[in-house]
Structure formats: C-alpha cells, structure tokens
Amino acid sequence: MPPLIAIVGRPNVGKSTLFNRLAGKGLAIVHDAPGVTRDRHYADTHLFGRDLVLVDTGGFDPDSDDPMQQGIARQVELAIREADVVLCVLDATLAPTAADRETVGLLRRSEKPVVYVANKADNPRAELESNELYALGVERVVPISALHGRGLAELEAALAKVVPPEEAIEPPSDDAPPRVALVGRPNAGKSSLFNWLAGSARSLVDHRPGTTRDAIDQRVEHGGHAFTIVDTAGIRRKSRVDRGVEAESVMRSIKAVGRADVVILMCDAAEGVAEQDARLLTLCAERGRAIVVGLNKVDLLRTRKERDAAEERARDELRFARWAPIVRTSAKTGEGIDDLMQTAWRAAEEYRRRVPTGELNRFFEQVLSTHPPPTHGGRAPRIYYVTQAETSPPVFVAMSNAPESIKDSYKRFVVGQLRKAFGFESVPVMVRYRRKSRREPG
C-alpha cells in the first residue's frame, strides 16, 4: 500500500501546478471516462523509485462559498490526519502571511513528517527572497519553481528522506475473511451499516479525534460468513462539518480501498446518486477492487416507482463500472443488508477465483470458432490461447499473432464472454493482449 502525500497551502501558491508536475508521467489515466477523470485531484505516481499517491487537498471545492471549505486550517488538519507526509507549499516571492503562520503552527504541533517548499522561485533572486520564509521557524524550506521545473530534484530528495516504508498488504488467502472497505460520501450511511454489522455495543467507541488509532480493522460475521471491515477508525471519525469535504472521503477511501479486497460503496438513494459517487467508484475500480454498491436509505422512498427511479439514476451515474452490482439497502431498518453481504461474499470469491487454463481454452476454442476476431486493417488477427495470469483481481493474457489489429469492440466482447462464462460479476476483468508468432514454442 503506497504512502499518501497531501499537498497543502494557501490559494494561488501553485499547489495544482506542483501536483501536475509531480504527477507528471506517473499520472496514469487508465480509463477514459468523461466527466470522471476531469477534476482529478489525486494521482498514483512514481517518484524516487517509490509508488506514491499524491493528493491536492486545495484542488477540491475551489469555488466553494463555504469559508470552512476554503479555510486552510481545515485542509491542513485533514492532511495531518489522513496523509503519511504533508507537502506544504509557500510563496517564495511574498513575506510570510498570517495564514502561513497558522499553517506552520498546526503542522509543527503534529507528528507528521512535513516538507516545506517555497514555490515561484523562478530565478536566483526569487530564490534568495524565499529565505524570508525561515522567519516561520521551520528547519528547511526547499526553493522550487513548479512552473519551470526548478528545484524538483531537491524536493524529491527531501521527500524521499521522510516517506515511510510501504505498508505491506498480505495477498488474500483462501481461508482468511475477505477484507471489506466501506466507502461513500459523508452521510451515505457507512457508520450505520458498520454499526448494524458489528452489533451496537462494540462499535460505540468514543468519537473524540485522535483517540482512535488509524486503520483499525474489525471482524464481523453476517449470514454465516466472516468479514474484516478495514479502517473502521475512519468510518467512525465524524467530520466536524456535516456536509463533509470531498477531499476527506477521497483520502480516506484511498487508504481503506488499498487495504481491501471488496469495496462496498454506500450511496444515498434519497439524496440521489451523483458525480461525487461516480468519482469514488472510479477510484475503487482503478484500484482493481471488487465492488458492490449499496443503494442506501431506500426506506425513505415509499413507492416502488421511486425506488426504481433511484436505481435507474444510480445505474446511469455509475455507468463507468457497469458491472458493479447494485443492492437496495436500509442501514436503518436492516432491509437488504443480508443481500448486500451475500453479494459482497460472492464478490470476494470472484476476486480470488482462478479459472484453470484447460477450462479457459475449451471455452475459448468454441467462442473463437463461432466469433473469431474480425479482420482489421487488412489483417486477420488470431487468438491462440488465453490464460489467467493473476487473481485478486483477475487478469487474463491472450496470445495473438497481431494484438494491435484486435478492435476495442472485440476486446469488450472477450471481457463480456469471460464474465458470463466464469461468473465474474462484481470485479474488474482485465485482458492483456500479447504477441506470439505461430512458430514460437508455447
């Protein structure tokens, strides 16, 4: 599980420029989902030989009218709580402001590793001016120019010194209970579901900030199956602002999803499934997790027509991962929770499932003889055989004489066939196409 670096700072110091610069070529937009990959404020990236997740906390809600959301203190507190390292961006060309002092004060009281940078040090003169920032009482300020790419090597070296080692996540074993992350917007009903599953007494731990250790996992049983609910501290920890900030659910989700096999994405059916839910879904799907959507609070929808309409809207908003099953639930009355957890259990099985090569090939021989890949660009691509290269999540490899000549529509067809034949309903299924000439030995 890669460490999470949160970028904080006042508006206009250049946080997003720095975010984009650091994300750089590491920013792999795997999926092309219009409206979802836009406004992206987190990125999986690779710097100084390490996998990292970068989050631009200031990038969320930039147009918000809510002073709390604009407030830097909130951003910084969030970063201190959720991130492994805080990257604090200051302005090299300005004397320290009151907001800077407040920020540095908060950061110094925390125990999080912090790297301070003076951005906009575009030239030697600005770099010299940045020395004024030492008045803030920090040990080191790295002068950089995010715009012109100056000082980035020094910044990376400073980060490399403080980034903690990667947290090892055991591969899921067959007999261990599946690890489940409860993800969703604030107020979707995550804690209610968790309380329902855990039984009220045990989960009523105190809500005071800072008293719960991060990432506490709890074992629960439901319908005869055991599950480990990961990062329950994050579920219990209530946001001070009720409406909550998107950055918070994103950072929490990144951490929880990283430790899970199955994600239960809780959505509020009464409020309606919307873009922020779709962004969380994208985050989970990109991380290759099995996903079950809990369309929660259906008790508030009285008529069947209302419920159907809510589900239809959810299917539309969540079309990016069309395969993810949607289960109607009420964490208040308990309706649908049996179904939700049965579905989560099946999802965990699919996540770990390995299809024997013999079975795959018997199946594909038939598919390929009745529906061979169509001729494309004058070539007739052939698929020789398919193997499952990985589980958790399932990844298949198809050997072909001309992988580049296989159309996307045919690739989608292959994924659909795999899903149908081998029952992969709640997991992302990936097929990689590799070149192999006919004469090469297998």
Residues at the interface with ligand GDP (CB under 6 A)? 184, 186-192, 235, 266, 296-297, 299-300, 330-332
Nearer to ligand GDP, 196 or 351 (CB): 196
Query: Which CB sits closer to ligand GDP, 173 or 303?
Result: 303
As measured in angstroms, the least distance from the Cβ of 213 to ligand GDP is 19
CB 254 within 8 A of CB 225: no
The CA R_g of the chain, rounded to the nearest whole Å, is 24
State the nearest-atom distance from the C-beta of 331 to ligand GDP, in Å. Answer: 4
Q: Which is nearer to ligand GDP, 112 or 332 (CB)?
A: 332
Q: Tell how strand 50-56 and strand 85-91 pair up.
A: unpaired
Residue type at position 394: P
| DSSP one-letter string for 30-49 | -S--TTTSSS--EEEEEETT
Using the minimum distance from each CB to ligand GDP, give the nearer residue, 253 or 282.
Answer: 253
CA distance 323 to 5: 31
Cα–chain-centroid distance for residue 291? 12
Our CB check for ligand GDP shows the closer of 260 and 368 to be: 260
**Residue 145 in contact with residue 154, Cβ under 8 Å?**
no
Which residues are CB-contacts of 349 (< 8 A; sequence separation ≥ 6)? none
Q: How far is the CB of 312 from ligand GDP (least distance, A)?
A: 19
Least distance CB 267 / ligand GDP (angstroms) = 10
* CA-closest candidate to residue 80, choices 237, 218, 226: 237
Q: How far is the CB of 42 from ligand GDP (least distance, A)?
A: 20
* Residues whose CB is less than 8 angstroms from the CB of residue 220 and which lie 6 or more positions away in sequence, other chains included: 197, 198, 226, 227, 228, 229
Q: By three-state DSSP, how is residue 86 classified? A: strand
Q: Minimal distance in Å, beta carbon 194 to ligand GDP?
A: 7
The nearer residue to ligand GDP, 75 or 187, going by C-beta atoms, is 187
Q: How far is the CB of 361 from ligand GDP (least distance, A)?
A: 45
Give 170's DSSP letter. P
> What's the angle, vertex CA 194, arms to CA 56 and CA 289, rounded to 5?
55
Residue number with CB closer to ligand GDP (88 or 331): 331
